[in-house]
Structure formats: C-alpha cells, structure tokens
Structure 1
Amino acid sequence: MIPIADVAPLYLGVEQGFFEEQRLRLEPQLAEGGAAITPAVLNGDFEIGFSNTISLLIAASKGLPVQTISQGSLGGADASEAWAELLVREDGPIKEPRDLEGKTIAVNTLKNICEVTIKASLEQQDVDVDKLEFTEVPFPEMNAALDAERVDGACGIEPFVSQGEAGNARAIDPFYVNTAPDLTVATYFASRQYIDENPAVIDRFVKAMSKSLDYAQKNPDEARRVLTTYTMIAPEVAERIRLPVWRSELTIPTIERLSKLSLRYGLIEREPDLEALIRRPPR
C-alpha cells in the first residue's frame, strides 16, 4: 500500500476488528505506487494490493491476470469534496492552470492516474497537454520539490495538500473532480489465480473492507487519527486535511472514462475488458 490518506479505512478496520471478525490477519506493507504494487501481487509477493485505477487498466490491457475486488477511494462529487489538487508555489509565476503549459509537473509514478487526470482536467481548460512534462517525485517529497523549484507543479493528494498549503503551496486545480465526479481513484485488487484458489478469503476480505470503508466515512475524526500512525503527518496537520470519499460501491462509469482517457493519452494500445477486470461482489 501507499502511505496516503486513501488507505486509512484499512487501518481502521484492523483496529476495529472487522478483519478479525472475518478470520483474517492483515500485514500492511508500504510501497511507492500501483505501478510497483501490481507486479508484486502478480509475482505472489503480496496476496492483495492497493492500486490506482490506471495501473490496473494498463495491466489488464496487456492481458495480465488482475482483478479489482473492493473500492478503495473516490475523488469526491465536486470541488467542495476535492482532496487532490494541482499544487504550485504560492510565490511562483504559475497563477492559473493555463500557465503550466510547457512546464514540469511532479507525479508519484509516470504514466499513471496523476498524469491522466491532470491532462484530462487541463485539456478542458484549453491547455495543450502535449506540452506538459512529468517527472517522478514520491508524494511525501513533492512539496519540497516545489519549494526548491525543481518542478513547477505537483500532483498533490492528502495529507500532502494540506501540508503544502500550510507552507508555500497553493492549490489551483482539483483534477480528480474535474475528470469525473465520484471518480474511482483506487481499488484493492488481487491476481486472478489467487482469487480462483481462495474465493472464500477474498469474499471475507471484501466484507471486512466494505465495513471499514463505511466506518471511515462515518467517523472522519478516527480516520484523521489513524492517518498519523502510518505516515509522518503530525496530528495538527491531520486535523485539517480534506479526507477522501469512501464508499463500498465502485463507480464503474468513471472506470470506463479512465479507460478511454488512458487510450487517448497513449498509456494503453487498446481498452481492457472491464467485465473481466472488475470482480462483482458476492450476493
């Protein structure tokens, strides 16, 4: 998993005993992004992974046997719920999204959800996205990269948006929300082999995860508290962050939109079979 706000429900679920109720013992392992987590799951290093939707679409388009099993996080219905923002320096030359044309933007991994959704959002604002440059910077280091003027913009997500705004960063574009309301940003997934060999384990994980997502959405203070246990974020910063939206249902139309955008921007050569990619929950 990635040490970001999105995964707070899983940590809360462990604390609340939701996974223990399903006879599951979890050992969360941190990683940098879905591009690294996907092969680790396919290689059997992890049974279940957390990945942004784009990494899974890319894997599925190549015929790799991955399947989403549970919702992870949603981008929010509108700007008031936005927890992902394009960050720039408060005292820098970038005043509006159009000023980023021809500039360099930090993303946690290349050819991923940051890149796709930033392009989708800026293209709607008449930015020539072919002139954007992207460079890899881990999420926790993006604000420092902005301050040092190594990049002109950054794909900021919580808790690093609030952390940046408390310093010298300014938010200018809620790119997840602008791409699609209630965007399915990330999901939990497994290899098809593991799912086929362990369907009962997967079903129990999904039940516990659904309960965890609902609990986190209803208990934001608890989500903020648990965030400080697996990140370097101070409690006073965690109190200010805009939390992701958590629901157990996947917003499949937004996954379809991300698939089409991935094709448009050249991340995939053909759209994957979404029926094969998305595992339907047990009834």
Structure 2
Amino acid sequence: MALRRSRSGTKRLAALVAAAALILVGCDSGGTSSSGDGRQRLTVAALPLTDSAALYLARDRGLFAKEGLDVRIQPVQQSIQALPALLKGQVSVIASANYVTYLQAYEKGTLDLRILAEGVRIAPHMMDVLVPKDSALKKPADLAGKKVAVAVLNNIQSLTLNAILDAQDAGRPVYRQILFPQMGPALEKGQVDAAHAVEPFDTAIQGELGARVLLDAGSGPALGLPASGYITTADFVKKNPKAAAGFRRAVEAASKLAAKDPGAVRTELPKYAKVTADQAASIHLPSYPATADPAALRRLIRLMREQGLLKKDIDPAPLLAK
C-alpha cells in the first residue's frame, strides 16, 4: 500500500511541511480583534494535519464569514507550543489540539479548558506504526523494548499504541519524541526502530523510504477514540460568547461536509499541508464527527486513567462550550 515517489521529491515535501509548521513566538497581536469589515478576527493555531481540515474548509467555504468571523490561521509543529499564547490571549483557539495534553493541563490547573468543537476521531490507518522495509520487526509483539518515535511523549499516540499492544498481551516499546517532519529521516538513519506517523506524514514516509506498516494504529481499542479538538479557555468563551458559538457552528458545519464528502477534504489538504493532489488522493482520513460527544470523551478519559495519565476522573460535559 506504500506510495512510490522520488526520494528527492518527498524530501522536498518534508522540508515544505517543516517550513510551514511555524512556532508561535513573540506574537504581539491579540487573539481577537475587529476586522475592517466589522467581523470579529480570531487567531487560531493549527497543525498541518488532516485533523485541521474542517478549520480550513470553514474558512475557505465562507462558513466563518457567515458567522461574522474573520479567522486567521497560524501553523505550529505541536499544538502544545501554542498553549502559552492561548493563556496570554495571543491566540483564541488551538485546532488539532491533542485532547490528552489539554485534559492533563486542565487537571493540573494550568488551563481552564473549554472544548469549542470536536476535531477528529481515530479511523483505520489515519496513523500507522512504520518500520523500514528490511526491518527485523515483523509483528506488533516485536515492538517490546524497541524505540518508537512519537510527536509528543505521554500523549494520544503512546496512549493508543499501549492500549492496542496491551490488548494483544504484547510488551510496550520505549518512546522517543521526534517531530513528524523528522520521523522519516530518524527512521532511515536508524535512530529509532519504528515511527508512529500520522497523516499526511504517514503516507509520505511510506513513499520516501518504502517503509512498511507494522501496525494499524487506528485499530482495536483506538478505533473511534476522540483524538483532537478545538480548544480554548473559559475566559474566552465568557468574554466572547457570540464568537465562540459562531466558531463552533462553522466548524461543525464543515465537519459534516468533511464526513459527507471526503473529496472536499482531499481537495483542501494541498492548500495547507503541502501535499500534492495525487498524495492527498491516497491519504487515509480520520473520522470527522458533527458534534462533540461526552460519552466518547469519557472513553478517552478512562483510558488515560488506566495508563496513569490522569490522577482522577474528569467529567467532560461541563467542558463543552455551548
């Protein structure tokens, strides 16, 4: 199932994606302001992943404008990099925000979390554990004690992979933090034994290295699990109720479009993720839920509790912005 493309072409792809994934540093402007046409301007931090498709669809299809919003998108390499800017009010929302990170921040009292809208839920092959084509690793159980690259430690990737391996009575790997654009080179140089890659990097690494899928990381206990959402603060919702509600409606409308017409997502991806139209046609997409579901989030929270990523239960229902 690996896509074959020239090594130089895909390395240029990785370089473009890395260049597009900027860190929010020294941002002086506020996360909200008024546009010249009277619309409320919001700055949204987002990763260049399939998770963010509804955000870009809402912008490009005029759904935000319909709600009186002017949404400006700031790419980042990790959603956690935008947390300081969110706390300072320099960005209004973080898209593609990994729930695990932000639920932990909420528990610690670092962030008075509110979820404006759900991002994606895990679907088959939207993320895979990849190994070099000549790797001695042949089955998931072979990962025990091996070095596996993840974008952020103790997060949704390790959480779900641990759950899958535990269900198979297999040993767990040792995780190494490596940003998505660097996973391919790290795998090629032997710095890690496997890479837990998310689309569109998953398909790109397969194409560049001829890497093979050792494990569908969107299977078993991971399937259907909420992975990311559109995160803000309680203070933002309190001070900007109309903008918060309009943002939620626009994203939910875009998510319905994404779920109904995957082709719309595939058309949108090359505009922000630096993949070609041909590459976008072969990418495995996540599930785009129309609305956030407390029951689905409770499933995620239970898994976090089981693996020691949360010390106590959290009721997600009050965290969903109305």
Whether the TM-score (by the shorter chain) exceeds 0.5 is: yes
Could you say what secondary structure the match of 1:69 adopts?
strand
Q: Which structure has the bigger radius of gyration? A: 2
Distance in 2 between residues matched to 1:154 and 1:183, nearest whole Å: 20
Give 1:123 shift.
1.1
**How many residues are paired up?**
274
The code of the aligned residue for 2:280 comes to: A
Asked if residue 128 in structure 1 is aligned to residue 174 in structure 2, the reply is no
User: 1:176 & 1:254 partners in 2: Cα distance?
Assistant: 15
CA change 1:26–1:187 in 2 (3 A) is same
Where does the alignment leave 5 or more consecutive residues of structure 1 unmatched?
A: none
* Equivalence for 1:69: 116
- Correspondence for 1:107 among 119, 125, 150: 150
Cα distance between partner residues in 2 of 1:43 and 1:179 = 36
Selected match of 1:55 from 93, 98, 101: 101
* Structure 2 runs not aligned, ≥5 long: 1-45
Residue 201 in 1 paired to residue 253 in 2?
no
| Residue 229 of structure 2 is aligned to residue 183 of structure 1 | no
The Cα offsets for residues 41-99 of structure 1, whole Å up to 9 and x where unpaired, read as 122121011201111211121133011110101112xxxx4311111122111111100
Distance 1:273 1:38 in 2: 22
Q: Do the aligned partners of 2:164 and 2:222 also contact (CA within 8 Å) in 1? A: no
One-letter amino acid of the counterpart of residue 62, structure 1: K
The yes-or-no answer on 1:162 pairing with 2:203 is yes
User: Secondary structure at 2:228's aligned position in 1?
Assistant: strand
Q: What is the CA-CA distance between 1:225 and the residue it aligns to?
A: 2.1
Contact 2:50/2:285 (8 A) holds in 1: yes
Which residue of structure 1 aligns with residue 279 of structure 2?
237
- 1:22-42: CA deviation from partner (whole Å, max 9, x where unpaired): 110111111122332333312
* Offset at residue 153 of structure 1 (A): 1.4
1:254 & 1:154 partners in 2: Cα distance? Answer: 27
Task: Please state how far the C-alpha of 1:274 moved relative to its aligned partner.
Answer: 2.0
1:29 maps to: 74
The SS at the match of 2:117 is strand
Question: Structure 1: which 4+ aligned runs deviate by more than 4 Å?
Answer: none
In the alignment, which of 245, 265, 284 is matched to residue 223 of structure 1? 265
Query: In structure 2, what residue type is equivalent to 1:250?
Result: A
TM-score with structure 1 length normalisation?
0.91
Task: Confirm or deny that 1:42 pairs with 2:83.
Answer: no
Aligned to 1:95: 138
* Matched residue, 1:271: 313
Q: Which residue of 2 aligns with 1:4?
A: 49
1:18 to 53, 59, 63: 63
Which whole-Å CA distance do the structure 2 matches of 1:231 and 1:82 have between them?
18
The higher-RCO structure (CA 8 Å, 6+ apart) is: 1
Secondary structure, counterpart of 1:150 in structure 2: coil
TM-superposed CA distance for 1:221, in Å, is 2.2
Query: C-alpha separation between the residues in 1 aligned to 2:145 and 2:296?
Result: 28
Find the residue that maps to 2:75 and give its secondary structure.
coil
AA at the equivalent of 1:223: V
CA distance in 2, matches of 1:68, 1:169: 36
- Scaled by the length of structure 2, the TM-score of the pair is 0.80
Cα displacement string for residues 194-243 of structure 1 (whole angstroms, at most 9, x for unaligned residues):
11111111000011111111122223222112211212322221111111
CA distance in 2 between partners of 1:203 and 1:250 (Å): 14
Q: Give deviations 1:113-147, integer Å, cap 9, x for gaps.
A: 11111111111111222xx2111111122122212
- The farther-off stretch of 184-193 and 167-176 is 167-176
Distance 2:90 2:164 in 1: 35
Shift of 1:261: 2.3
